[in-house]
Amino acid sequence: MPIRFACEQCGQKLTARSRQVGHIAKCPKCKQDVTVPEVSTRASGASRAPESESPSDGGAEPDVYSQFAVYDDDAEWIYEDEADLVATAPTEVNIERVSIPRSVLYAQGILLAVVAMVAFVFGLLVGGGRAAPESAEAIARPCTVNGHVRYLTQNGAEIPDEGTVVIIVPQDHHPSAEQRSPIEGLRPSDPLPQENHPALRAIRMFGGAYTRTDADGAYDLRLPSAGAYFVLVLSRNRYRDANAEAVRADLAQIGSYFLPATELLGEHRYQWLSINVRADQTLGDVVF
């Protein structure tokens, strides 16, 4: 049953549940502490006689409480004379919870998605850059290059070109005139040079390799690392025609490694190739 009473400070009429007896809350009008009494201090309209039947009571007030709902929460009160105003006692604010408009949440979600996409793309770019040390390690690994050299006879048969010279030099290394390799011992007609030959030392110093084909026309060279290289294949058994001259562009490039280039080539047929070595690989057969 509701308990009806008035604020002791301002006289505001209030209503509370019986189970709220003894609870203390602030009056919604004057904000002073009010204790819910054990019994109503104001008479219920249901127990009073109509005003026409009890004229001696000075005109009892009508039951103004019947139009108000009774709230179960301990901290809620009702103004009895202002039905459209429902005031509640102050409640604690939870600072861990913030009220945010839905549009702000949507905007934040879109912003997070954009940031995530940008971070993903940036990560790919940075990841590609960080892979460089690994690629550099792969480039530093020694590689082998092999193949076969043959020449055609007058009847069209392919014969292994034994003793053909195969030299590989790096494209990104340009030795000075003093560092260029001498040609003595490198030509197909020269005796096979020993390991400590000055020409071989010079070739190895600027990152190249030298060999001659075996009886099967096969060769196998070991390079210090992967990269872009020039390959000179100088035939042992086939010669250029009398009027055929070496290509000037080839002579210029060959001359940047060997001096003099014309004497290295002589009258032998040759091929000057450009290759990109990434790992052990077999070059296509060379046929003169």
What's the pLDDT score for residue 106? 87
What's the pLDDT score for residue 69? 37
Which domain CATH number covers 277?
2.60.40.10
Any idea which residue has 């102050």 for tokens? 90
CA dihedral 14, 17, 21, 26 (to 10 degrees): -40
- pLDDT digit string, tens, across residues 142-178: 999 999 999 999 999 999 999 999 999 999 988 888 8
- Is the domain of 5 the same as that of 81? yes
- Is the domain of 144 the same as that of 59? no
What's the pLDDT score for residue 73? 42
- pLDDT digit string, tens, across residues 111-123: 999 999 999 988 8
Q: Which domain holds residue 276?
A: 140-287
Query: Domain for residue 40, yes or no?
Result: yes
What's the pLDDT score for residue 130? 55
Query: Domain for residue 108, yes or no?
Result: no
Total domains, the chain: 2
Query: Domain for residue 274, yes or no?
Result: yes
CA distance 213 to 230: 18
What's the pLDDT score for residue 80? 58
Q: Is there a contact between 181 and 232 (Cβ–Cβ < 8 Å)?
A: no
Query: Domain for residue 183, yes or no?
Result: yes
Query: Domain for residue 130, yes or no?
Result: no
Q: Which residues of the chain have pLDDT under 50?
A: 45-75, 82-91, 93, 131, 134
- Is the domain of 162 the same as that of 60? no
Query: Domain for residue 105, yes or no?
Result: no
What is the pairing mode between strands 209-212 and 181-182?
unpaired
Query: Domain for residue 124, yes or no?
Result: no
- Is the domain of 23 the same as that of 78? yes
What's the pLDDT score for residue 43? 62
pTM greater than the 0.75 cutoff = no
Q: For residue 100, give both structure tokens.
A: 């945010």
Any idea which residue has 């007030």 for tokens? 61
Long-range contacts of 90-93 (CB under 8 A, 24+ apart): 90/26
